[in-house]
Amino acid sequence: MLEIVYQDEHLIAINKPHGLLVHRSSIASDAKEFALQLLRDQVNRHVSPVHRLDRKTGGLLLFAFEKEVEVAMQQQFMNGEVQKKYLAILRGYTPDQLDIDYPLAKENGTVQEAFTAFVTLKRAELDIAFGKHPTSRYSLVEASPTTGRMHQLRKHFAHIFYPIIGDRKHGCNKQNKFFKETWEMTTMLLHASELRFTHPVSGKPLHLKASVQAEFLRVMELMKW
């Protein structure tokens, strides 16, 4: 059963597990379960996702019950009217806060503006040697992207050399291997934690939150956060 964090007659939001695809995709033919079908069967109603999360990203995923609401919410996302917050665990000690203004290229080569602001919430130094370093350092950050490019946070954190732990495509393979061998952890530690937007029907402000899931929480406990 999917965790439902909000529901009314027009919208429903879940806390998507890491590793679950939003819907069927030709690039992930191995997948047998999808958030769209699971939620539809769970609530016995047609649902449509109004935005996307990567397969490996966990957290808030918003669906609409009606086409008009779906279109209205997609417009809010496209216009940058939805405030998004993510939690991520990164390699290294990150700055207290930083704005990342770094354009990203689409698959067809088109370059798009991309902006992410983040603040560091916690830091940890583990007494475990890694490579040439006698200890291992990590940071918990809260990121607020104001654009919604594909893999934006993953690419932005890799760009500033603080990659997300568990990100195989854009992250640090040595760290990912280290986490797998040391703690049997393969989850990408990126979580969509908050959404703020205007309800497309009532016009009232909504603030949704989703708590981190078991693997993310397990790593936080390892870090003594």
The set of catalytic residues is 54
**Nearest Cα residue to 154 out of 140, 171, 178:** 171
| Residue 28 CB partners (closer than 8 Å, separation 6+) | 21, 55
Dist. CA 169–CA 178, nearest whole Å: 16
- Residue indicated by tokens 């429903």: 12
Q: Is 124 helix (H, G, I), strand (E, B) or coil?
A: strand
Is-contact 100 160, C-beta < 8 A? yes
> Please, which contacts does 168-171 make with residues 24 or more away whose CB atoms are closer than 8 Å?
171/91
- Beta strands (DSSP E) in 65-189 are 83-91, 97-101, 104-105, 111-112, 115-126, 136-145
Tell me how far the alpha carbon of residue 33 is from its chain's centroid: 19
β partners of residue 122: 140
